Amino acid sequence: MANTYLYRTPSSAGNRKTWTWSAWIKLSDVGVETPFFATPVSTNDTGWFSIRLNGNSVVIVGLYNTNFIVTNRRLRDTNGWYNICVSFDSTNSTASDRCKLFINGVRETSFANSSNPTLNQDYNMNNNVFHSIGEEGNTFFNGSMSHVHFIDGTAYDASAFGSFDNDTGEWSINTSPSVTYGTNGFFIFKDGNSVTDQSGNSNNFTVSGNLTKTEDNPSNVFCTNNSLWKQESSRYLTHTIGNTMISGGGSATWYQTPGTLAFNSGKFYWECKWNASTNLTQNHAGVIDYEKTAQNVQFRSQTGSVFFTNEDGGELHIDGPATTADYGTLAQNDILGVAVDMDATTPTVKFYKNGSLHASTNAASLAGKFVTPAQMIYQSGEFQVNFGNGYFGTTAVSSAGTNASNNGIFEYDVPSGYTALSTKGLNL
């Protein structure tokens, strides 16, 4: 989360000419400066080294304002995971091979700007200076990281950390790479405020801030709210905490967002915690035909949508109009479970209040459609969604309910036959 990062100062310098850094990264936002891994920044610091995202381009900076690499490729996917691998060797006699960048297993060769490291030059990366993961000059990483490797003394290509799937062509993670880490090498995998090096070197990092664990990982991508979806400038949501919390901008208008994954079959479940008291009665959560999200109107007014709303005693909006039944409202910090069954003869949508069935409906208009989770808030409203990560915001569920599919962690028991909306859940 914002203002959270890891740091370590090695007790002695390692190989400052030859090293590898590889990590899997899921972005929460685009178009902003996002640091991945860096050594200190100071005026005219000739040893400064940085790997970061800037304006959606991957930037590798060595020395003071010397851009080794600025990619033409732009990273704008906030749903999937990217594998970023930097293979550095200033001793290489081929100048263009001294700093190699791989994105999802493919070496980048098209650059907006680039220069080659000086032959046999030492840089601050792997020096006995402050190293940070997720912070540079008081700018912080916003997203998720997994399987962060640093190799001291060997320049590996990306093939050490992943491989292409023979059937799909997808770049897939190698969870146990066969590499030699060297003295200052490390492998950061665990979450929590006790981040330990898994390489066997005990090169542990310290946490500044609070890490939030997530079930979302390169092998099982979970749905989140879609921060790339924009409607009108006055209706842009603020997305935080891995795009699982939404906040309104304060204008007297509705703010809304769809999910990043859609489905036309299967049975899926997620939970919404209505944590903020502000505009609590206007909170909406439900499901919508994904094609309808392209229309510049309120989600709840669309045919092919079902929402529970806290307005008027607790109502359902089905294909637009609200029901007249009062199902009962949710109070601050209550949890609304949403269960969508697209395998039923007529699709059904059920809503649970703190684990108990609260309201349900058939949804004939969803039949044959690709549907996605959807959220609506008004003015300064806010709420958090747990798509199976086991957290609401930065707080873990108090005691996980049962889940027969073992896919995702939820506060309450997952209804029989349902699972989390994730790539694993879509392929059960």
Range of weakest confidence among 34-43, 154-163, 200-209, 318-327: 34-43
* 43 has pLDDT over 50: no
In this structure, what are the phi and psi dihedrals at residue 299, rounded to the nearest 5 degrees? -55, -45
The reported pLDDT for the residue numbered 241 is 87
Q: Is the pLDDT of residue 191 over 80?
A: no
Average predicted confidence (pLDDT) for the chain: 91
Angle at 167 between CA 165 and CA 169, to 5 degrees: 50
Residue 377 has what pLDDT? 94
Q: Identify the architecture of domain 233-426 in CATH.
A: Sandwich (2.60)
What mean pLDDT comes out for the span 222-244?
Answer: 82
Question: Residues 69-91: what's their mean pLDDT?
Answer: 94
Cα–Cα–Cα angle for 355, 240, 249, rounded to 5 degrees: 100
CB atoms within 10 A of CB 82: 18
What percent of the chain stands above pLDDT 70?
94
Radius of gyration of the chain, Cα coordinates, nearest whole angstrom:
23
The three-class DSSP label of residue 380 is coil
Q: What is the pLDDT of residue 194?
A: 56
Residue 30 has pLDDT above 90, yes or no: no
Pairing of strands 245-247, 238-240: antiparallel
Q: Which helix (H) or strand (E) holds 423?
A: helix 423-426
Question: Given a cut of 60, is residue 1 above it in pLDDT?
Answer: no
**Which residues are within 8 A (CB) of 302 and not within 5 positions of it... i.e. 6 or more apart?**
288, 289, 292, 295, 319, 320
HEC states along 291-360? HHHHCCCCHHHCCCEEEEECHHHCEEEECCCECCCCCCCCCCCCEEEEEEECCCCCCEEEEEECCEEEEE
Report pLDDT digits (tens) over 304-350. Answer: 999 999 998 999 999 998 887 899 999 999 999 999 999 999 999 99
**Which tops the pLDDT comparison, 328 or 189?**
328
pLDDT of 190 over the 70 cut: no
The closest of 223, 316, 333, 313 to 272, measured between CA atoms, is 333
Q: Sort residue 355 into left (φ over 0), alpha (ψ -120 to 50) or beta.
A: left
Instruction: Write the CB contacts of 356 (distance below 8 Å, at least 6 apart in sequence).
Output: none
Q: Which of 58-67, 124-133, 240-249, 262-271 has the lowest mean pLDDT?
A: 58-67
Q: Residue 389 corresponds to which tokens in the numbers above?
A: 């990560």
Category of 28 on φ-ψ map: left (φ > 0), alpha (ψ -120 to 50) or beta = alpha
Instruction: Dump strand ranges (E) for 39-93.
Output: 49-54, 57-62, 66-74, 82-89
- Percentage of the chain lying above the pLDDT 90 cut: 71
Task: Write the CB contacts of 386 (distance below 8 Å, at least 6 apart in sequence).
Answer: 244, 270, 271, 272, 273, 392, 397, 410, 411
pLDDT digits (tens, 9 = 90+) for 373-420: 999 999 999 999 999 999 998 899 999 999 999 999 999 999 999 999
Burial 279-308 (b: 16+ CB within 10 A, else e): bbbbbbbbbbbbebbeeeebbbebebbbbb
Hey, is 394 helix, strand or coil?
A: coil
Flag whether pLDDT at 227 surpasses 80. Answer: yes
Taking residue 332's Cβ as centre, other Cβ atoms within 10 Å add up to 12
Phi-psi region of 16 (alpha: psi -120 to 50; beta: other; left: phi over 0): alpha
- Give domain limits for the chain: 5-208, 233-426
Average pLDDT of 234-253? 86
Helix (H) or strand (E) holding 391: strand 391-392
> What mean pLDDT comes out for the span 27-50?
76
Q: What is the CATH number of domain 5-208?
A: 2.60.120.200
Largest distance between two CA atoms of the chain: 76
Give the closest residue to 410 by CA, choosing from 348, 338, 357: 338
Q: Which tokens in the block code for residue 323?
A: 């029901």
Tell me how far apart the alpha carbons of residues 420 and 350 are, in angstroms, rounded to a whole number. 15
